[in-house]
Structure 1
Amino acid sequence: VADTVLDGARYGACTLRAASVRGDSARYRGEPRRDSLLTARFGTGDQALLLVAMATGARATPGAHRAAAEVCHWIGRAVGRSQARLAQDMRAARRADLKSGLHRLTDRSLGRLRASAAEQGLDPEEYAAGLRCLLLPADPACRVRVFFGVGPGG
């Protein structure tokens, strides 16, 4: 697991910079970084969406970094599959639809994480992660920004 992850890109008028850094305590104890960072663009042109996802695995549990990586992967796939509908809802500022749709995608991603824990013979409470996401439209005329997630932090 990398000690530090940096990512960034420029999409039209938007410049994105993201970082995940192992904390001093984890570094001192020789533990890996528990966070996982995902930045992704789905779609093209003004229809595109930018997703920044940060997941943090449960503290003091083995495999916390793997749980964080898994939930980032699954939320990325879920947003990618739903990109067209999410982009429409953002352009139309349908906040209620966005809220219910993103809650559903987040719940499914966490359900997959719990199922993965069971498949590995792990306690789902220990093989867990908090998730925070930011969804941005590439269209500069669209002013809607969506922050969503689950678990501690934010």
Structure 2
Amino acid sequence: MIQIRDATPDDIPAIARVHVEADRDTYSALFGPRAYALGLGESELRWRTALGDSDTLLVASCGGDIVGLGHARGDRIGALYLLRSHRRRGVGSALLQGLLAALNRQGILQARLDVVAANENAIAFYRAHGAFPVGRCVNRDARGDSDDLVLAIPTAARRTD
């Protein structure tokens, strides 16, 4: 059974392992030889900083093992990662809904996120959850420049009636 909960400092090593593995799976397919090899130490530092800054950092756990993470700072969703073994099983949706609910409780009505424009699976996922494009940007990081789609998504639950 999947549980979505707030991350704790003790979760950081497992969060970093999930982040590194999921990042490699996702971006090596998109960037090929340009894919950046994210290191565990770099990832641990990112998530320790996020917790220290009181960002929203959620984990998805299954049988006590962390299998996914979601992160937001202010009105920006900065990360949503899942292990390949837990994709297409509702875990990503649960993490996203948890992030949106947390942002909504903070008074944020609409979140934004950047998605690599070539990542059609991620774009389809977010659009299926109500996200819509609001612009484009160039993301400059260790992978090199990438063309990103900027999406906005309401934080309040969608009505189905």
Provide TM-score, normalisation by structure 2: 0.29
Larger radius of gyration: 1
Provide TM-score, normalisation by structure 1: 0.30
